[in-house]
Amino acid sequence: MRVSISVAVAGASGYVGGEVLRVFSAHPDVEFGALTAHASAGERLGVHHPHLRGLAARILEPTTPDTLKGHDVVVLALPHGASAEIAASLPDDVLVMDCGADHRLTSADDWAEFYGGEYAGAWPYGLPELMTGKGNKQRPALVGAQRIAIPGCNVTAVTLGIQPGIAAGLVDASDIVAVLANGYSGAGKALKPHLLASEALGAATPYAVGGLHRHLPEILQNLAAAGADAARISFTPVLVPMSRGILATVSAPLWPGVDSSQVRTAWEQAYADEPFVHVLPEGEWPSTSSTVGANTALIGVGVDEKAGRVITITAIDNLVKGTAGAALQCLNLALGIPEVTGLEMNGVAP
């Protein structure tokens, strides 16, 4: 006999909240409780997410601790700075997953520099595939956890792409270069002139150039966990005219004497047992279109012999493996449910 899991979603009117509802709807044990919003409270969910037909008639409630209490799981799909106060008022025996940034960083100084405001402390980090030492991963830290910080989407793509080389001691982590092509849903639903179709269509636009992106300290935190004592990364995200997806090209110098066979072996061994991270055959490179709607990360790996650098290209759906799918993956681990339950591995094409 299956036991239902009551899930409340705060911030249900936004892109992340809507994707949490879509992805979690496929889980056989999940039943949705309160669906909340701020300015949209009192409106039908279908006004904001007409594609979610099974939930379209639900009325959005105010985002308050009282509304969110009484559930087995609370998913916070809120802007940074909005989650910590609500989370602090929820009972300790509730599984709370923060899809925002409030509990990702272990350094108060990094929080002050990149976000500002009061530092709320770090929760167990919700990237099961994160390498945390020779042969170890983050997964065991999530089993039975009651508070989980879901990673940033860009962070997931960069981390998965380069961490095998760091953990295996093959790359010089002091000179990592990452350039990402990002879909516009990663910027959220707020109406801003540079996010309008008239500005975005037909254009590729860089942003947060020169070490300013808020995901930077989180990436470095992950690379340190994988074994990089003093990693340095040049990180440049670029908005491109697609609604969802991230294509992360990451390169780093190989240490002298490392050959291409060692590189491929390291990446294949790192993800051999991972259900959602797939290293493509040699010479194949991923496309974001192959990951749309799926909780998969597709990774192509190669070596630029003339430059002496490893090149990895990682494709994910920023709203699934980058956020909502990762949250469901973590829910399964935390509650002792098989990790793949309710999660889609096949993308939508064409």
Q: Could you give the residue numbers annotated as active site? A: 153
CB-based contacts of 312: which residues, under 8 Å, 6+ apart? 161, 162, 165, 248, 249, 250, 251, 267, 299, 300, 301, 302
Query: Cα separation of 209 and 168, whole Å?
Result: 30
**Residue carrying the six token digits 């070596």:** 303
Angle (CA) 252 255 259, round 5°: 95
Nearest to 192, CA basis, from 179, 211, 210, 205 = 205
Q: Residue 73 contacts by C-beta under 8 Å, 6 or more apart in sequence?
A: 5, 6, 7, 8, 94, 95, 96, 97, 331
Q: Backbone phi, then psi, for 238, in 5-degree steps?
A: -135, 125
According to DSSP, the residues that pair with 219 across neighbouring strands are: none
Q: Which region holds residue 121: left if phi is over 0, alpha if psi is between -120 and 50, else beta?
A: left
How many other C-beta atoms lie within 10 A of the C-beta of residue 154?
A: 26
Burial 103-136 (b: 16+ CB within 10 A, else e): bbbbeeebbeebbeeebbebbbbbbbbbbbeeee
**Tokens, residue 161:** 């792409």
**Is residue 238 left, alpha or beta, with left meaning phi > 0 and alpha meaning psi from -120 to 50?**
beta
Does the N-terminal peptide bond of residue 350 adopt cis geometry, omega within 30 degrees of 0?
yes
